[in-house]
Structure 1
Amino acid sequence: MSYDLTDHQLELLARVLQHGGVLSSPFGHSDEDTLLPALHDDIAALEEMGLITVTPHAGRAEGETLTLTEEGYAALDMT
């Protein structure tokens, strides 16, 4: 299946892949790139496409864990 992904979405999928398919937030250094609004949009879009699953930590303010799905691996040609 072909996905119409932005460069930022592909980069986010690649970052999750670099961490063994599971990436927990905050994703960067405090106040640098931790869940910026655009990153939230990319995460929501990737989840809607079924490329990642998002699991909130204890509270939404505590961050979340992103996990690549089989479709996410396929989008990165990692099948």
Structure 2
Amino acid sequence: MRNCIPKFRTALLAVSGGLVPLAPVAAQAYVGPGAGLTAIGTMIALIAALLLAVVGFVWYPIKRLMRSRKAPNDPAARTTGPRQ
């Protein structure tokens, strides 16, 4: 059992050492101002869309529930008779 661990370590070291040349290196690329501003604008729009989706699915039903609870107790909401 003790002889198995050093052999495994040696094999793992050899395999990982052989895979190092296959690893990608960092790309030396330039992002111009047009592409950069487009990417920033896209991210802002995506975040805004997600926030508005949360507001639409969470806030408006809560708001309607609060309004429906408030309406019977509101004297202005009560009707005393038909208007003429």
Which protein, 1 or 2, shows the higher relative CO under an 8 Å CA cutoff with sep ≥ 6?
Answer: 1
TM over 0.5: no
Q: TM-score, normalised by structure 1?
A: 0.21
Q: Determine which structure has the larger strand proportion and give its number.
A: 1
Structure number with higher helix proportion: 2
